[in-house]
Structure 1
Amino acid sequence: MRTERAGRMADEVVGAQVRAVRASRGTSLRSLARSIGVSPATLSQIENGRTGLSVQRLKQIADAMDVGVADILDAVIPDPDDVVPPVGPVGPVGLIEPPAVPLPSDSSWRVYEPLEFDPVLRAALEEFLHIGYHGATVREIATRAGLSVSGIYHYYTSKQHMLLRLLEYTMDDLLRRAEAARREGKDPVERFSFLVEHLALFHTHRADLGFVGAAEKRSFDPVNERKIAALRTEQSQMVYDEVDAAVRAGRFTADMAHERARAIVTMCTALPTWWRANGTYSPEQIAEQYVAFALDLMGHRRS
């Protein structure tokens, strides 16, 4: 009897997690049912824990919503009795959006203020750094944030949502600073130099975000992975465009210019794997060194 009761409880939990993920993605019950070839009534039975859910069926549901099975099993189930004070406008699926993180003005791309994440996002970042995305649990993140597990639902639907928000902030900050640095340059070589300086400064001052971004890029579901990858490509393309312009102007003379530029970008993005705030060099010293390395690697010819 106890085993049967435990099985029903497990079905109810997983069913509620399916429902939470479906709601967070704005997918209707009828649409998901059609995608997996069952009636809406059957899917409703699954979501309410009245029908057992096989591993195969769970995988089918995950594929239909373009998420991983782990994302469903990590989903936070809302507790209607757990009330959290509002912190922002209510989103399209009833979630309270976390406070916006301030981004730097165009004139301050070299200035890095301390990060001001909301408690949940700060806790998620610390947990991902401590044990990695796949090792982290929503319960431990909730403990770090000083909230109940169900309380986190009012902010984020799952670990995946937290990781996405962290990387969205990272890329917004990175690209905004890159655009400001590029506008400050007066010619292709100076713009290239400022972009390399920016990448080195970002990946030292924001080493924690850079490390999570590099280490967990394969932890995204396919949709989020493509979104973040496109933003990374946008940043790299800025560097490549200035390299092309400098080559056309005869200012960069090394062969295989694109391959060298790719190596320079990778050199900068790898900084979080070894640079430490209490180490030998400050972010500004690293940036100065890396600009010199990059210009030498491109065969820079002074005008």
Structure 2
Amino acid sequence: MAEQVDEAVGEAVRALRGRRGITLRELAARLAVSPGTVSAIENGKVGLTVARLHQVALALGVEPASLLRPAPSGPSGVPSGVRGDAVPTPTAVDAEWAVFEELSLDPVLTAAVQVFAETGYHGATMRVVAAEADLSVAGVYRYHRSKQHLLVALADVQLGDLGWRVEAAAAQAADPAGAFADMVRAVVLAQVHRRDLSFIVETELRSLQEPDRSRIVALRADVERAMIDAAVAAAAAGLFSAPDPAAGAQAVLSLCRAVVLRLDGGELPDPPALAAEYAGLALAMLGSRVQ
């Protein structure tokens, strides 16, 4: 039998993957396994052979030993053994709303994110979701009663997560212009850190059915309304010079929501840097007088 390493290595794999901004699906592709297999490794459901440990370490750009014990930190706080060219830039916004922990989703929703992102809502079936979740079809229905219910649940998760971040970002700003810029950062960060989930919501709204469709569209509109209010307030305070700050805010939000379409299948950018870039563009579009 192949030698097995400590199953606790899964926690180290998940933590390092998160720091690198690598999605579960991307790591699975690098290892030529299913996302479900990577999830099982990270959650300690399966052990790792020594050979597989080396493959995982290579895919993450570290030495195998660094996954078996806590890695000592260097002067910058980055674990030694991590290649410098793959270390993401720390967030420039030291705020709770800018910190993205892994979402706590049940196994079926976790599988649905992967399947819907890969095949689209209409191309997915409950049988495929069940296979991704490593459950029977009957087991899936014990969690969620239909494919539509899965889509609604994912939309609620994404919009709930984004909503509190936008609200918190606005509340912590010193003025309306700062609130607008930080809301832009919050939306862009969410688009990058929650890439698959955001992609599903942005592309599958038309697949929602009533009565949930109207409710979810209204939740989505809350973000737009908050950004418009901040832009209008900034203009009233003389901080923005755009002749129509409401229309400007709508245009900025459309650009932010399109970020996830740029990321589809591409390399994950540095989230804070991209968020700062979009915030700067947003302020320029609104004619900020305080840049």
Q: TM-score, normalised by structure 1?
A: 0.63
1:276 deviation in Å? 6.3
Q: Find the aligned partners of 1:107 and 1:287 in 2 and give their Cα distance.
A: 14
Q: Which residue of 2 is the match for residue 192 of structure 1? A: 180
1:262 deviation in Å? 0.7
Q: Find the aligned partners of 1:280 and 1:214 in 2 and give their Cα distance.
A: 18
Aligned: 1:168 with 2:160:
no
Q: Which residue of 2 is the match for residue 141 of structure 1? A: 129
Q: Find the aligned partners of 1:275 and 1:147 in 2 and give their Cα distance.
A: 30
Aligned: 1:259 with 2:247:
yes
Q: Find the aligned partners of 1:124 and 1:253 in 2 and give their Cα distance.
A: 44
Q: Which residue of 2 is the match for residue 248 of structure 1? A: 236
1:117 deviation in Å? 1.6
Q: Find the aligned partners of 1:183 and 1:254 in 2 and give their Cα distance.
A: 23
Please list the CA deviations of residues 121-166 of structure 1 after superposition, one character each: whole Å capped at 9, or x if unmatched: 1111111011111110011111111111112121100001111111
1:251 deviation in Å? 1.1
**Structure 1 residues 156, 174: closer, same or farther in 2, change over 3 A?**
same
Structure 1 unmatched runs, 5+: 1-105
Structure 1 segments, 4+ long, off by >2 Å, are 275-281
* Equivalent pairs, count: 198
Map 1:149-168; keep pairs closer than 5 Å. Answer: 149-168=137-156
**Structure 1 residues 300, 209: closer, same or farther in 2, change over 3 A?**
same
Q: Which residue of 2 is the match for residue 294 of structure 1? A: 282
| Partner-residue secondary structure (3-state), 1:217 | helix
1:278 deviation in Å? 6.8
1:224 deviation in Å? 1.2
1:196 deviation in Å? 0.7
Q: Find the aligned partners of 1:185 and 1:277 in 2 and give their Cα distance.
A: 34
Q: Find the aligned partners of 2:100 and 2:259 in 1 and give their Cα distance.
A: 17
The question of whether the paired residues in 2 share the 8 Å contact of 1:207 and 1:271 is answered with no
Q: 2:110 aligns with which of 118, 122, 130?
A: 122
Q: Find the aligned partners of 2:105 and 2:182 in 1 and give their Cα distance.
A: 27
| Partner-residue secondary structure (3-state), 2:207 | coil
The question of whether the paired residues in 1 share the 8 Å contact of 2:192 and 2:268 is answered with no
Percent of paired sites with the same residue: 37
**Structure 1 residues 280, 176: closer, same or farther in 2, change over 3 A?**
closer
Write the letter of the residue equivalent to 2:246.
H
Q: Find the aligned partners of 1:289 and 1:171 in 2 and give their Cα distance.
A: 23
**Structure 1 residues 296, 117: closer, same or farther in 2, change over 3 A?**
same
Q: Find the aligned partners of 1:292 and 1:161 in 2 and give their Cα distance.
A: 38
1:115 deviation in Å? 2.7
Aligned: 1:274 with 2:262:
yes
Q: Find the aligned partners of 1:276 and 1:138 in 2 and give their Cα distance.
A: 24
Q: TM-score, normalised by structure 2?
A: 0.65
Aligned: 1:284 with 2:284:
no
Q: Which residue of 2 is the match for residue 180 of structure 1? A: 168
Question: Which stretch of the first structure deviates more once superposed, 275-284 or 176-185?
Answer: 275-284
1:223 deviation in Å? 1.1
Map 1:29-178; keep pairs closer than 5 Å. Answer: 108-178=96-166
**Structure 1 residues 234, 280: closer, same or farther in 2, change over 3 A?**
closer
Please list the CA deviations of residues 68-113 of structure 1 after superposition, one character each: whole Å capped at 9, or x if unmatched: xxxxxxxxxxxxxxxxxxxxxxxxxxxxxxxxxxxxxx95110111
Write the letter of the residue equivalent to 2:98.
R
Q: Find the aligned partners of 2:260 and 2:224 in 1 and give their Cα distance.
A: 17
Write the letter of the residue equivalent to 1:274.
R
Q: Find the aligned partners of 1:302 and 1:148 in 2 and give their Cα distance.
A: 58
Q: Find the aligned partners of 1:277 and 1:206 in 2 and give their Cα distance.
A: 14
Q: Find the aligned partners of 1:152 and 1:208 in 2 and give their Cα distance.
A: 21
Q: Find the aligned partners of 1:199 and 1:234 in 2 and give their Cα distance.
A: 13
**Structure 1 residues 171, 279: closer, same or farther in 2, change over 3 A?**
same
Q: Which residue of 2 is the match for residue 13 of structure 1? A: none
1:250 deviation in Å? 1.2
